[in-house]
Structure 1
Amino acid sequence: MGRVLRWALLLCFISVGLPVLATAPPASAATITRLKSQLAAHPTDTARVRLLAALCYELHDTSPTQALAYGEQAVRLATALPDPPGLLRSLLNLGSCYANLSDAPYALQLQQQALTLARQLHDNDGIVRAYTSIGGVHHERDDTVSALQNYTQALRLAYAKGVRANTRLLLFGNLGNLHSYLRNYPQALLYTRRALNMARTSGDKPGESLYLAHLGTFYYQQGRLNTAEGLLRRAITLAEPLHIPRIEAGHLELLAVVLLLKDQLPEAETLTRRALLLSRQSGYQEGLREGYNIMAEISERRQQYQQALGWEMRFRELNDSLNSLSRLNTLAALQTRYDTKEKESQIRLLTQRGEMQQHRNRELWTVVGALVLGLGGMGVLYTQLRKSRAALATNNAALQHATHELREVAASKDRLYAIVAHDLRGPVTSFVGVTELIEFYLRQGDENGLRRLPALVRQSAQSLNGLLDNLLNWAVSQTGELVSQPEALPVDSLFAEIEELYRTTAQAKQIELSTLAAADLRVWADRNMTRTILRNLVGNALKFTPAGGRIALSARPAPDGAGVLLSVADSGRGMDAGQIATLLSSNASVPALTANRNSRSGTGLGIPLCRAFAERLQGTLSLQSAPGEGTTAYVHLPAPPVS
């Protein structure tokens, strides 16, 4: 099967198997309408918290941006009442929304808060669900080690008192997905069958249909196409009376792929067209995209190349549209977070002003009462008036200070959006250039040129990934909630990892990349923060070092004997003292775009992020450079404590 069809099969598998973060089949419109009607007529109490959380839960897969509003309201109301059990469910559901919108750091933060609260409440069901959700976020980020660790923690309490059946069902389904992804097929089959049996026992027809399709995918991967076909046909039979178009369309497309592999083209086309009709009627854009891809492969198999090209163009246009929509949804989630914080700040200010006004009014009424008692009260009235004027002046000053802070937050947000819009164009332009190179090499029949393209694509993708990683790390660090987990880290292993990551890029630019560190030299630091520091420093060195240059990573005990000194030295063009002072400045929370911006690439967050992480690790970052003499970055980190 061709590359395009294998990709389509992978996406079909994700759509019909239980996704890592899914908790239920798509909600019906009637269910959502009923919940909204109940919410409109319900007072502000704990039952309203549960209605808001339920709406967030039902919409988090199909309309995550719409679900955010209900989830945020549920969290605020549960906190204000207070309602700890309602807050627990609201945090879990809201975390799933942000995970679906690709805001993994904030999703993990919410799920960690839910886990802490579940432990305080001794809620075993909440603990298992929180661990499962955290594992799901790590799985989507391809951190399978962390995913398996969290799933294992959930598995230890899976049969504890109070854990609901649908929570165990979610856990077993996610474990089946993870082991299938790791090609650990015996374990994948074990957990998937366990989830299927639980769905049958509880009468969960949508779940039974989904897990039958999951088993069909499992046997497809083993090359047992007849078994896969039988399971998928049973899954479709179960799905048809449920009237859930997304599930039925996904099953039909996956069965069409299996039949295509068996060269049964007429039935494969019939099933695919049924899936396209269901997806179109229900607005299921991902189903339409995969249907177009399968139809393109069917037409190509029949040597109907003109029709195949038409289906392929539909697939690409819809795929580009969905990718753009995903990015817009992620930005909308960030906007919602900013707006929520601004509104909370304004509410606090208004509340303070109201309380101060009430206090002042009580004072004035006291003075008026004293005036009625006699002329002697005039002195008291005068004193109270002076106090009132002083309180009013204090209130006005506090309000002006708060207004200034709000304006700074808004300006920082606008600068961050400007940086995102400016710097996403570079990697995207690289991808466009690669497509032009593909067309050129195809016209020229240059196979050697085509073989070089994957490296260019990988380099552009790594650049884009590094850009987004820096932006998300910066956003998390600015909230003040970034947690450092220090441990004893061998410096030579860290250097080896960085050298392996950038070896290809260095070779492509003909730059010599070397490392030097004693085998017994260790630092006391957080692994992820230290990796981020070294990646940014080496990445900067590669950007500004010309071909034929050199970059050297070295480490030695600090001269003061109180830590370890890491250095990254390059033979690039260097910087003057003004540039160094600007890079190390701590006056702005978000770097500003300047006229000199065109001389550099990236967000400008690299060095400020490294400095912030170094300080969080109880260390320092410094730069030594001169024009034409290269640049050396020094990172001073503490040594492990003596046991």
Structure 2
Amino acid sequence: MAYKEMSFPDDSTHFEYLHQIFVKHRNPNTRIEFAGIAIRLSKENNNEDWLFRALLNIGYANKLKGDLDQALEALFKSLKYVDASREYSREASAYNAIASVYRLQGNYRLALQYYQKGIGIYKVHKDTLGQATLLMNSGESYRLNKQLDSSLIAFKLSKTLFSIKEHRTGLAYNHGNIGLVYAEQGQNDLAEENINEAIGILKGLGDTYAISVYDTYMADIYKDKGDYERALEYANRSHKQAVKGGFKEQIRDASLKLSELYNDLREYERAFEFQSQYIVYRDSINNEETIRKMADLRTEYEVSQKQAEVDLLSVQKRNQQIIGVGLTIVTILVGVLAFMFYKNSKQRQHTNYILSEQKEEIETQRDQLDELNQSKDKFFSIISHDLRGPVHAFKGMSRLIKMYIDQNCIDELVELNEHFDHSVDQLSTLLDDLLDWAVSQQGKVPYSPGMVNLHDLSKDIMGLFNNMAQAKKISLTTHIPEDIQLWVDSNSLRTILRNLVNNALKFTGEGGFVTLSAEKDDGMAAVHVADTGRGIPQEELKGLFKLAGHKRSWGTEGEKGLGLGLQLVYSFSEMNGGSITVDSEEGVGTTFTIHMPLFKGVLTSEVVGS
């Protein structure tokens, strides 16, 4: 049955039938014909959503034909119906189409500008496929503008997003476009591998336009290899497919490639024939009149946008004036009501009750402040005492060194050196913890989150404590999967693990076990530091992470601590958006567990010919 003879139950069914044709048909003239019928139907029904979809596809079809001024005219018209559709994807699709026309014209600055507008919309709405498509289109603009590094970054990011969604068409174009970049970089093997993979997928999808584009680049690759027979095979196939599909842009490019190949082979008559064809199609796409019309269309659109903004501001100003008058009246009424309530005795009683509650709150805050000041004073008292001990020890050892030197007692000096090292380590650890704690309390800890591989970082941390563990004959092990990636500040995480592992070794006796392990837990990583040490009394667990009371403790070999390390662990865990818990039993051991956020890569691109 011919189209004109067909009947439809309603106009909506009729439009959807037309839509399937002008979206899926490979011939641009056929797409324009059926989209024109859809526009007439849309106007008869006063349906602006239908108008948008039909105009958008007319723009795409004219771009495929190389009629860029007509393409832009249709696309800028489609933007007038974006607000009516109330779908964010409509506006982003229009920006993508406009950018693709500017890209074809060679105006890469404007192309990238409109691609970024579309990407911004998709990011706001967390549309992964939309971001992937426009990122890929941006990469193609970078490639055509010879910004190859930027192009490769955009393509690889787009490929990751398409892989997440298992989108075959997008992956095909990504493989092909990455191959184009490698070809321009002279990496022909990588280029051929990617382009062949793209062509294999596209053949199954019936996308002849993209295959035509990639065939041109395959011709380049074989030309570089000196295999002109294969190069001509690809170039002729590209030209044939472009002519069959009516793709002016690709007829132009394939003609130029055939002209170059025949010229190299000294078949000058064939070279001249294709060179002439290239010039005809190049000029039909990029003549001055077309460029002028495109500029006029863009100016007309931007002026209309500015006028719409002015109209909107006028409406807002009028609304603000109305709101201002309304607020004045409301303010007067509130004032009258407030005066009446003021005279009401119940309101006075309620006010007194509020004041009483505020007084109690202030007194509570004052008590808390006094407690904090007492903790601070006690803290400084402890610090001064612990600093004085190593300093006095240094003074005594200095005298002993002088005496041993005078008496030439070398053996005693060796033994004294071990005591000296121990005191230095003790003082250094104390000062490091004190400095880290002080900075964290002032809120000046540098916080620079990034992706951190927990497995690699844990190897570094455990390497610091191998000697200490061997000295105490403690088995120190790790069980960290290699695929756990965190989004944290690396330096503060090192401080957390260093303090927890150090404490575990300090309070575990000879022959014990200390284990660092981790697993994923509902969007977070649960990191455990477990030991078989003496354990923590239940009455101490409640205030373990607070700097209050008497926190001095000794390890199994007399190692001394102030509790600063656990303060740092608690502060830095919260700073990284995590948390810490502890489970302990006296005589059995202790397990500290910190929860840290996992790294979640969020990535968002024009398929060739979009």
Larger-Rg structure: 2
TM-score by length of 2: 0.42
TM-score by length of 1: 0.40
Larger relative contact order, structure 1 or 2 (CA cutoff 8 Å, min sep 6): 2
